Amino acid sequence: MTVRAGSDSAVRQLNGSGSADSVISVTGLVKRYGEVEAVRGIDFEVARGETFGFLGPNGAGKTTTIKILCTLADATAGQAVVAGHDARTDRDAVRRNIGLVFQDTTLDTYLTAEQNLRFHAELYGVPKSAVMPRMRQVMDMVGLWERRDSLVSTYSGGMQRRLEIARGLLHAPHVLFLDEPTVGLDPQTRSSIWTYINDLKKREDITIFLTTHYMDEAEHCDRIGIIDHGKIVAIDTPEALKASIGKDRVQIQTADDPAAIRALADVFGIEAAMHDGAVTFSVASGEQFVPRLFGEFSVPIRSVSVSRPSLDDVFMSYTGTTIRDAEGSGVDALRQMAQRWRAGRR
Amino acid sequence: MATQTTEALSSVDAGAIVDRIRVSVPERGVRHDLRAVGIVWRRELIRFRTDRLRAITSLVQPFLFLFILGTGLGSLAGRSMPPGVDFKTFIYPGVLAMSVLFTAIFSAGSIVWDREFGFLREILVAPVSRGAIVIGKCLGGATIATFQGVIFLILAGFAHVPYNPVLILTLIGELLLLSFTLTAFGVMMAARIKQFQAFMALTQMLVMPLFFLSGALYPLNGLPAWLTVLTRIDPLTYVVGPMRHAVFSHLNVFGASVLAPSITWGGWIVPLWFSLGIVAVMGLVMMSVAIAEFSKTE
């Protein structure tokens, strides 16, 4: 079932059903940085073996939540339990059980790939006899074993991300955190990263928690939590979320957009808005609506497109905005610039 | 089904079998912490080995001081030297200390660099004590800085400092101590300073006064009161003094003791062991501050 914000009974129901073998359990989590409330009271559970995704624009509180779960930040209020240990009071136990891949690279680019993994193995106390075979296994998994002696600075962005995933798995964690695992990568590399992640789910007994602001990536998750302004507004499977909308999305190109929006409201009583340069609105049955539109509409229409609900629509329905509009601030563009600048410096 | 679940859950801490390769991360213990110290230390060495340019450039400055300044000023200062003593011999211990100064502090500066480029996060989420990480870093910086000093020791002959094994070993020991304390100082600063540029600027600003006040270029007796006080505050003084003492006690020169006087506090003569003890304690205190700083979370 779909959980809407403010629907407390539904949230409780969800917790009740998932707590038996949940690997991550978060209750009433709040994080304040001075005056800014980055996370404003969230609750969720992630079951063992599940791939759970946090979907939301930059600044929604995704990274802050991950930081708390990974013991890198303390919650202002509330509790986070990861792999059976409290993230605040039992840090080391949590750290032993989790693997991390951050959105910005955390590799030492002056070391070789193997040296990076060896560093990790020693830091995590991986038994000496297991280091080599496990290293080979995780590097094989991401197709980098042959390149193990190369300096990481010679790796492409996609290879670096793959190496980070391999490193995150080296100590066989029970939970793998992926914070925007494909941000800043080209589409082809992004899809190859997903091939590795899906492959990984088959091979290892692992729970994956990831954050993303790409809708198509959220589709890979078993369940999604939509997070906006530090609050979870909906949690469910992608299919259930889409079904909950129950409406098709119609986008029209017209000669006079403001007039079209007014006309839609006057003639059909439909609320429309500009998104992605087109007049956009939702109706129960798109195919049947289009003939009526042409029959009764006074504003000239240049083109029409009807689409089934996507996660974009789900996001819009729950937050009242598209994820691209929510970004707005251009944080993403800035980060990509920073990454390019770093790559240039190396 | 129910038993399967409990079994699966209880294995969370026991370590999972993954494709028949059993990997389990142990509870934290002394052995684990020692491995962490070891790998942080080794990373410093690997980075240093691959960065030959840094090794060479950081020797340029001491080289200039010893041969250019030493020779140039020597023609003037040489007149007040006892017969048979080169001014270069006099400044050699101080310049030797300088040869480790930059390397030690900048190796600590790599923490700031690591923070900016993310690698620090990889270290900070590891299930290992912050102490192990900081100790590894301090020992790593101390090792490469001392190595740098040893290269400069090879030039001792040009400053008429004898290649006496006891002297060389004494100097290496003192360099190691100095390098450790300087790295600890750098790590302590790096815990607070978030930008690499700021770290560089601040250390550049501090390094020269440390060097000039240490008595590396002039004897510490007969100075005006204000300068005497400043030289006694400079930690570097307490290494340069013993190093110069070591060099001059191995020279067969009459009146050498005038050039390597003991450090005094008011009328009290600070013993050599005490002098070196001050440096060691300072290093340990600064390292503890650094550990405390790195143990904080957001």
DSSP string, B83-147: TT--HHHHHHHHHHHHHHHHHHHHHHHHHHHHHHTSHHHHHHTSSS-HHHHHHHHHHHHHHHHHH
Cβ proximity of B152 and B114 under 8 Å: no
% of chain B exceeding 90 in pLDDT: 60
pLDDT of residue B4 exceeding 60, the answer is: no
Q: Does A67 touch chain B (CB under 8 A)?
A: yes
**Among B199, B167, B188, residue whose Cα is nearest residue B96:** B167
- The DSSP letter of residue B64 is I
Q: Do A130 and B122 touch (CB under 8 A)?
A: no
- Main-chain dihedrals φ then ψ at residue A327, nearest 5 degrees: -60, -55
Averaged pLDDT, B265-292: 94
ipTM: 0.84
The pLDDT assigned to A20 comes to 54
Name the region of A269 (left: φ>0; alpha: ψ -120 to 50; beta: rest): left
Q: Tell me which residues of chain A have a pLDDT lower than 70.
A: 1-20, 324, 326-346
Q: How would you classify the pairing of strands A278-283 and B17-18?
A: unpaired
* Residues B237-251: tens digit of each pLDDT: 999 999 999 999 888
Domains, chain A, ranges and CATH?
8-242 (3.40.50.300), 247-308 (3.30.70.260)
The pLDDT assigned to B55 comes to 81
Cβ proximity of A242 and A235 under 8 Å: no
pLDDT of residue B264 exceeding 60, the answer is: yes
Q: Would you list the domain boundaries of chain B?
A: 31-295
- Pairs across A and B, CB distance < 8 A: 131
- Nearest residue, CB atoms, A124 vs list B5, B9, B127: B127
For an interface test with B, the pick among A39, A64, A96 (most B C-beta atoms closer than 10 Å) comes out as: A96
**Among A43, A91, A35, A44, residue whose Cα is nearest residue A67:** A91
B76 or B292, which is more confident: B292
CB neighbour list of residue A134: distance below 8 Å, 6 or more residues apart = A121, A126, A170, A172, B21, B23
In sequence order, the β-bridge partners of residue A275 are A278
The pLDDT assigned to A40 comes to 93
* Residues B145-187: tens digit of each pLDDT: 999 999 999 999 999 999 999 999 999 999 999 999 999 999 9
Q: Do A95 and B125 touch (CB under 8 A)?
A: yes
Find the closest chain A residue to B21 by CA distance. Answer: A134
The pLDDT assigned to A300 comes to 85
